[in-house]
Structure 1
Amino acid sequence: WLDLIGRKLIHSGELSRMVEEDGIRGVTANPAIFEKAIVETDEYDEQLGQLISQEKKPLDIYEAVAVDDVRAGCDLFRPLFDRLQGKDGFVSLEVSPYIARDTRATVEEAKRFWKLVDRSNLFIKIPANPEGIPAIREATAAGISVNITLIFSTKVYQQVIDAYFAGLEERVQKGQPISQIHSVASFFVSRVDTAVDKLLEQKGNKDLQGKIAVANAKEAYQIFLRSLETDKWKKLEAKGATRQRPLWASTGTKNPAYSDVLYVEPLIGKDTVNTMPLATLKTFNDHGKLAETVTKGADEARAQLAKLRETGIDIQQVC
């Protein structure tokens, strides 16, 4: 997927070209991405002028702009979504970060955005913080497809899986369908190395630098695989449930000393998504190697995480 959206990208035909030629199968976005899109083009000027003249509040203006772009993105990807029977072709819209500490407000905004955009190939992004976990369950139970964002630790990732399962179970208990509900769990990668490398540097440990983020993600994938073997999941799948796919986020390389495809090449595999910044996408298309890799080196990844603990760094606390 492409970690970018914007009116110019859509209206110019560039996003359609990327779908056809670069294999883009969805897009993710957040308020920072929308801010960049608005600042760097005049495509929004007319709408912004109208909204300002109506004395709309800043958050209402942002919402109007974001909803229009996300709806247009959903329409662009709808043929792909239909052709793949809902397996791809999604666009994400994030709930306001201002309500991230309020479970009830998060659920209500998720419901409102879901109704407002009114597209089957929409994901509502909800953060995986303590207040977000119950919101994930409630939104799923309400029939909303959720992209759970800001997952850094495997401990929280397990909570996200459990919340998705619980939401589906609630619908089953009520006799409601679950086959049209989709979910991805956005597990952040490069930022883990950014945080852990600083701690390793302080301890004089260079051996593990640049390795923990991928190891952490590979361990998360093993948790995903194990979740598919549980009786709980098998019962849900028999009712038509779709798998909550791991989505690798924050996959642009931030340390220039590391490979520019470090957070892409080792994490390719079945049922995974990688949402890439435009620069990373171009880099991977230029010289990246496409091969199933996410299950390889699982034991080595586990050993690296164990060595990290031996240094006195607890990744669950860092993340």
Structure 2
Amino acid sequence: MNEPCSMTLTNPLCELARFGQSPWLDFIQRSFTENGSLKRLVDQDGLKGVTSNPAIFQKAIGQGSEYDARIRQVLAERTVDAAALYEILAVEDIKAAARVLYPVYEASRHIDGYVSLGVSPHLAHDAIGTLAEARHLWKRVDAPNLMIKIPGTEAGGEAVRTAIADGMNVNVTLLFSLEAYKKVLDAYMAGLEARHAQGLPVSGIASVASFFVSRIDARIDASIDARVAAADPDARVLENLRGKVAIANARMAYQYWREVTQGARWRKLAALGAQPQRLLWASTGTKDPAYSDVLYVDALIGPETVNTIPPSTFAAFRDHGTVAPTLTQDVPGAARVLHEADRLGLDLAGVTEALLHEGLGAFEEAFHALRDSISTKISSLKPH
């Protein structure tokens, strides 16, 4: 049995705190919270937050029978459709996880201890609809350590600005490109400025910008492999870029964050008590078996950042992760990687745009599958 985080320096997950990074878990499930597993990760591994998405809820609620007893109970009390039942179950799960993480929220002075719940992926290009659902979910969960998850589309950015001005905590998700991230960071600051202009406090509001990593390498590496197989004259240089573009992209995003948080605009907000919007590394499970299974944790450790880690990668990093201040290592090298990728026509801009659309599509698909699963359960479990 692992010792508590405060009593050991042998657990790499615990050691992340020494370098200012917070490990979050990209997973939620009712039994995981109820049986004490979530609390054990908090106590023994220094876990500081939880993220969810439609695919995670689809696996948790839509598959198996774990939620059937609760579904029967709800159906015995009222008539609900699939959408309403999903919301009941998801809100219950988020509230339960938020209770487990509340001591972290308090101990960290509201920097960590958050649980994320997303608006419907169908609203990704609807700023008004996104904001309305964000406000609805914020009231439904009614927990100070909730983060509303909003996709980083153009419309999402508009909703983020107003949600922050409203005083909500926001997790901006599906960020792949530096340009998209710049807009999101601006939206966060604009929201704080709008709130201050209304005479409202800007302290105590938290936000993360979820910057996706491994999916970029999966796409770029496939392009490299195809060109190498076709005997591209630049094959050797291309091969040297395998597994490097996503990390370089993330490191340059962090450099931009550092520049902004050292600037006059941010210093003015910080003086009013505002928290910086932290970069959160997402999609950090390794997809290529040729790479280390902890590559996207090892390589992105730095101050005032979060890494939301899938369960298998979380366990792997606990076992053999290497903790060092890697995020700021060889920044000129990261810039050179991106320059070479551009020179060689790897089209990072096109890849990140495609990945945003595919990510939204995947979440919509998971949301549809979840609704369908719940509809089937309603039919089979409702009292006759």
TM-score by length of 2: 0.81
* C-alpha displacement of 1:41: 5.1
Q: Does residue 192 of structure 2 align to residue 168 of structure 1?
A: yes
2:171 maps to 147
User: 2:266, 2:27 → 1: CA distance?
Assistant: 32
Superposed, 1:51-130 pairs within 5 Å as 51-52=74-75, 54-130=78-154
Correspondence for 1:159 among 183, 186, 205? 183
Correspondence for 1:29 among 52, 72, 95? 52
Correspondence for 1:10 among 12, 24, 33? 33
SS at match of 2:26: coil
Q: In structure 2, give the amino acid aligned to 1:224.
A: W
Superposed, 1:302-313 pairs within 5 Å as 302-313=335-346
Superposed, 1:287-298 pairs within 5 Å as 287-298=320-331
1:44 maps to 67
Correspondence for 1:202 among 207, 226, 231? 226
Correspondence for 1:242 among 256, 275, 289? 275
Q: CA offsets, 1:182-236, max 9 Å, x none? A: 0000000000101111222233231111111111100111011011012110110
Greater relative CO, 1 or 2 (CA 8 Å, sep 6+): 2
Correspondence for 2:308 among 255, 266, 275? 275
Q: How well do the aligned residues superpose, as a CA RMSD in angstroms? A: 1.1
* C-alpha displacement of 1:243: 0.8
User: 1:39, 1:61 → 2: CA distance?
Assistant: 12
User: 1:59, 1:256 → 2: CA distance?
Assistant: 38
Q: CA offsets, 1:42-69, max 9 Å, x none? A: 3311221234453312111111111000
- On the 8 A contact 1:187/1:247 being kept in 2, the answer is yes
Q: In structure 2, give the amino acid aligned to 1:295.
A: T
User: 1:312, 1:40 → 2: CA distance?
Assistant: 42
1:261 maps to 294
Rg bigger for which structure? Answer: 2
User: 2:294, 2:63 → 1: CA distance?
Assistant: 27
| Identity across matched positions, percent | 47
1:212 maps to 245
The count of residues paired between Structure 1 and Structure 2 equals 319
1:301 maps to 334
User: 2:302, 2:346 → 1: CA distance?
Assistant: 29
User: 1:56, 1:196 → 2: CA distance?
Assistant: 45
* C-alpha displacement of 1:40: 5.1
Q: In structure 2, give the amino acid aligned to 1:83.
A: A
1:232 maps to 265
User: 2:84, 2:272 → 1: CA distance?
Assistant: 39
In structure 2, runs of 5+ residues without a counterpart are 1-23, 229-237, 353-384
More helix by share: 2
User: 2:74, 2:258 → 1: CA distance?
Assistant: 47
User: 1:59, 1:191 → 2: CA distance?
Assistant: 30
SS at match of 1:264: helix
- On the 8 A contact 1:154/1:316 being kept in 2, the answer is no
User: 2:292, 2:56 → 1: CA distance?
Assistant: 24
- On the 8 A contact 1:155/1:316 being kept in 2, the answer is no
